[in-house]
């Protein structure tokens, strides 16, 4: 079983597997085009552009979900 490319055995187990977990998480986030939300501060777009705001929310939520599912 997997979520966004993470297998169940890829869950974070503290310091025991942090380095391997981080490497896998980087690849999964990059594959889902959300790694930039982790590497950089992606500023929320101005509220006047609803389409940009919706896309930003969608990507930010996806990045959070990928990380939370891997913890």
Question: DSSP letter string over 14-34?
Answer: GGGTHHHHHHHHHHHHHHTT-
pLDDT band, residue 58 (cuts 50/70/90): very high
* Dist CA 66 CA 71 (whole Å): 9
pLDDT at 71 over 80: no
pTM of the full structure: 0.69
Q: Which tens digit of pLDDT belongs to each residue from 16-57? A: 889 988 888 898 999 998 888 888 777 777 777 788 888 889
């Amino acid at each position: 079983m997997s979520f966004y490319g993470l297998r169940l055995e890829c869950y974070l187990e503290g310091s025991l597997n942090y380095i391997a977990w981080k490497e896998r998480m980087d690849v999964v986030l990059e594959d889902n085009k959300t790694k930039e939300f982790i590497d950089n501060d992606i500023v929320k777009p101005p509220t006047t552009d609803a389409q940009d705001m919706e896309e930003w929310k969608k990507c930010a939520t996806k990045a959070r979900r990928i990380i939370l599912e891997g913890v």
